[in-house]
Amino acid sequence: MAKGYMGKLLIVDLSNKSFREEDISEEVYRSYLSGTGMGAYYLYHHIPQGTDPMGPDNLLGFMSGLLTGTGSVMTGRWSAVTKSPLTGGWGDANCGGNLSIQIKKCGYDGIIIGGKSPSPVYLFIQDGAVSFNDASHLWGMDAIESERMLLEDNKDKGSVAAAVIGPAGEKLSLISGISNDLGRYAARSGVGAVMGSKNLKGVVLKGTKKIDSDNPEQIRAISKEYIEKIKNAKLPGLVKGSMLPIMGLLTGKQKTYGPMDGMMTASAMKKWGTIANNTMGIPNGDNPIKNWSGSVRDYPWRSYRSINPDSIINRETKKYSCHSCVIGCGGICDVKNIDAIKGDESHKPEYETINAFGPLLLNKDLESLFIINDMLNRGGMDSISAGNTIAFAIECYENGLIDKEYTKIELHWGNVQAIIELLRQMIAREGVGAVFADGVKKAAEAIGIESEAYAMHVGGQEPGMHDARMDPILGIHFAADPTPGRHTVGGGMYYNIMHLWDYVSWAPKVSKGSVKADDYIASDEIGLKSAANACIKQVLDGSGGCFFALATGFNHWRLFDYLNAATGWDMTPDEYMETGRRIQSLRQAFNIREGIIPMDNALNDRMAGNPPLKEGPLAGKSIPIGEMMKTHFKHMGWDENGVPDIEAR
Amino acid sequence: MKIKVYPPPFINAEALDEDNYIEINEGDTVRQIYEKLRIPLVLSPLVYCTVNYKKAKLNTPLKEGDIVSFISFMSGG
């Protein structure tokens, strides 16, 4: 009997409305875990080389995690996996909420969907049965209303979860995502467009299967210890959001660093969620400003005080937690007095959304950020990609590459109405929005070669809201990950907090007094750290684990012990890291097979600091990104061009 | 006696060894850690501090093997 995992995938073909179950051997689970790893294994072997990402031969997987539902905590994440129409290579996107547990309760570790329906459909999956249902009445409806309607229509069937696309996905925007839990997003890689290309509006899940584990007592004991620590991680009431810039400033001025205690950072996540970084990262250069060309001088305190996280949680009426989460970084906000938002409540904006539509665009209007957040959640568009794209549009406009005759909108920095209007047009793919609806790279191709200097993307995907000139290891992952531009693979600070070196024999130890300037050199130590980040991230995503659990450190959140207790495998941390390396190598091999040249994904000059900024906390900072990528590839066991030998793994 | 300390970002942590350990004496409390790290005592209401992941006060006693953690935020990545 399978332990931890369910032992099979559900394979659905929309073209002929058929489905089947496919058993997966234990050997495959040991080699690739579940989640993204299992998705990579299956899709690598079943998507033919050269497949059109928007065609019926592309597959779209909804993958749960190996630890989801086992009694472990912080393990309720799911991943969408596919061939990305945005990058042309491997695509995945990770999300929380309550979908992952329902995938497993239906009896599967993943649901793989191929083919194309001739008309809009939604799937209803209950334990072993699949029904194909007309979704014409939902087509054109926003993601939140669609999900509400699907949940309402199926409420007689008990507790259900649903994943849907909004109008952006229907209109095949390459920067569209998939929503669940009324506005949580698997946003990256253009996964929403793939779902839209299949005329698949939604997937509704209702399962009753039991999820077994090998040693439930041990899982409970690990969880209990972690929950107790998290419960105690509570900031004093005297600590206010207005103090965060000072903390950021102090952190930024440090010339050295050492190991950190993630349980202390968890206290900030509990209080504010990801928006704790809204103002903390501006004085130290972490938050990109003015399309990655500016600094705190362009968006000073009198601007960024408007996005003080306290001003946001003042609207928070309740905390929101994903399945099995004990931190609760999410929130539901009261937006009754914001006329432009439909309904009384909305998900609390995440940091990435705030920064991509705030400092990145020199927008200091907090109310507009709530409106934009709701538009993105309803429209089904990736906030990171959309914000970067509008920043690109504004810079093109300000520099005369496009004008009002072309845009019909006065696209100036900080022009709130213009930003909202362009976003509306992008989601609806109408007017000039059609030029920008597919992200920065496509828009730059349309506007012309002169615009490329303003086009902030990596391998076609727009980067997350953290600046590699502040954290060069983050820059390696932006450039070298098979899904480029991803901010949730790892970084220097995450490495310092994970304490991997206490478990993994080859992970470099971080000692007090480590010199920050050394992070800007393409050394073997940095390459080993980035390789460790890449490997553990794949173990995390194979487990359904939350990145913010990783960020509390493995000295607290005992991932390796959880995995062994769930499966009974008795694998060592080094062996799990090899599993992570195997998954990462397969993701990379997928890209190589599609003709992607990894070194082409090096950061562009602006993001790498060539030339460096002249003022602000990042003044003078640049990254030897090409050398760093090669060092990373070396420590991943790949050749110097980033080509893995997957047969050897 | 040795204890492990995760210091706040704004102090000079010279008193700690490279693995963040520090020698303490029998009867020492959190107050002595503030003094050794030169954290102004006046900041103590704002400086969130735990001993073994339970909220600590200046008079919280310390013993061999304790872990003392001070407020630190993550900004980046």
Going by pLDDT thresholds of 50, 70 and 90, the confidence category of residue A313 is: very high
Instruction: Determine the residue of chain A that is closest to B68 in CA distance.
Output: A261
Does residue B76 register a pLDDT over 60? no
pLDDT at A253: 87
* Three-state DSSP class for residue A18: strand
The three-state DSSP-derived secondary structure of A565-633 is: HHHCCCCCHHHHHHHHHHHHHHHHHHHHHCCCCHHHHCCCHHHHCCCCCCCCCCCCCCCCHHHHHHHHH
pLDDT digits (tens, 9 = 90+) for A7-55: 999 999 999 999 999 999 999 999 999 999 999 999 999 999 999 999 9
**How do beta strands B21-23 and A345-347 pair?**
unpaired
Q: Cβ distance A128 to A27 under 8 Å?
A: no
Cα–Cα distance measured from residue A16 to residue A20, given in angstroms and rounded to the nearest whole number: 12
Instruction: Determine the residue of chain B that is closest to A286 in CA distance.
Output: B76
Average pLDDT, chain A: 96
Contact between chains at A492 and B9 (C-beta distance less than 8 A): no
pLDDT digits (tens, 9 = 90+) for A324-347: 999 999 999 999 999 999 999 999
pLDDT at B77: 42
Q: Cβ distance A461 to A189 under 8 Å?
A: yes
- Residue for token pair 């912080």: A74
DSSP state of A275: G
State the DSSP string of A125-174.
EETTEEEEEE-TTTTTS-HHHHHHHHHHHTGGGSS-EEEE--HHHHTT-T
Residue A8: other Cβ atoms inside 10 A: 16
Does residue B74 register a pLDDT over 70? no
Instruction: Determine the residue of chain A that is closest to B19 in CA distance.
Output: A511
B21 near A CB under 8 A: no
Amino acid at A201: K
> How far apart, in Å, do the first and last CA atoms of chain B sit?
36
- Residue for token pair 């409420």: A155
Contact between chains at A250 and B10 (C-beta distance less than 8 A): yes
Q: Cβ distance A573 to A503 under 8 Å?
A: yes
Is the CA virtual torsion A137, A138, A142, A147 positive or negative?
A: positive
**A577 Cβ contact list (under 8 Å, min separation 6):** A504, A506, A507, A532, A535, A536, A539
Query: What angle do the packed helices A524-543 and A35-46 form, to 10 degrees?
Result: 90
pLDDT digits (tens, 9 = 90+) for A220-253: 999 999 999 999 998 888 889 999 999 888 888 8
Determine the residue among B49, B57, B75 to mutate to test chain A binding: the one whose Cβ has the most chain A Cβ atoms within 10 Å.
Answer: B75
Residue of A309, A313, A333, A329 lying closest to A241 (CA atoms): A309
Say which of B6, B7, B9 has its CB closest to residue A251: B9
HSE (CB half, 13 Å, CA atoms) of A399? 14
Using CA atoms, how far residue B33 sits from A382, B24, B42, B70, in Å, is 46, 8, 14, 11
Residues on chain B touching A244 (C-beta within 8 angstroms): 73
Strand boundaries in A17-120, DSSP class E: 18-23, 60-63, 78-83, 90-95, 110-114
Contact between chains at A248 and B73 (C-beta distance less than 8 A): yes
Does residue A472 register a pLDDT over 60? yes
Task: Spell out the alpha helix ranges (H) of A198-336.
Answer: 216-232, 244-253, 262-271, 277-280, 301-304, 309-313
B18 near A CB under 8 A: yes
Give phi and psi for A559, each to the nearest 5: -60, -45
CA A294 to chain CA centroid, Å, is 24
Q: Cβ distance A231 to A263 under 8 Å?
A: no
Residues on chain B touching A492 (C-beta within 8 angstroms): 76-77
Using CA atoms, how far residue B12 sits from A264, A419, B47, in Å, is 19, 45, 15
Q: Cβ distance B76 to A492 under 8 Å?
A: yes
Residues on chain A touching B7 (C-beta within 8 angstroms): 258
Cα–Cα distance measured from residue A100 to residue A531, given in angstroms and rounded to the nearest whole number: 27
Average pLDDT over residues A125-145: 96
Say which of A244, A267, A493 has its CB closest to residue B76: A493
pLDDT digits (tens, 9 = 90+) for B40-72: 888 888 788 999 999 999 999 999 999 999 877
Q: Name the token pair of A346.
A: 């909305």
Contact between chains at B74 and A265 (C-beta distance less than 8 A): yes
Q: Quick one: what percent of chain B has pLDDT higher than 90? A: 62
Instruction: Determine the residue of chain B that is closest to A283 in CA distance.
Output: B75
Q: What is the least distance, in Å, from the CA of B28 to any CA of chain A?
A: 22
Contact between chains at A239 and B48 (C-beta distance less than 8 A): yes
Does residue B2 register a pLDDT over 90? yes
pLDDT digits (tens, 9 = 90+) for A408-447: 999 999 999 999 999 999 999 999 999 999 999 999 999 9
Q: Is the peptide bond before A611 cis (omega within 30 degrees of 0)?
A: yes
Instruction: Determine the residue of chain B that is closest to A279 in CA distance.
Output: B75
Cα–Cα distance measured from residue A55 to residue A605, given in angstroms and rounded to the nearest whole number: 34
Q: Quick one: what percent of chain A has pLDDT higher than 90? A: 94
Return the ∠ at Cα A496 (arms to A493 and A501), rounded to 5°.
145
Return the ∠ at Cα A494 (arms to A385 and A618), rounded to 5°.
65
Q: What is the least distance, in Å, from the CA of B25 to any CA of chain A?
A: 22
Cα–Cα distance measured from residue A119 to residue A135, given in angstroms and rounded to the nearest whole number: 8
Residue of A168, A585, A639 lying closest to A377 (CA atoms): A168
Cα–Cα distance measured from residue B30 to residue B56, given in angstroms and rounded to the nearest whole number: 8
B12 near A CB under 8 A: no
Say which of B46, B70, B75 has its CB closest to residue A248: B75
Element (H, E) at A477: helix A472-480
Length of chain B: 77
DSSP bridge partners of A333: A316, A346
Strand boundaries in A324-414, DSSP class E: 330-334, 345-347
A51: left (phi > 0), else alpha (psi -120 to 50), else beta? beta
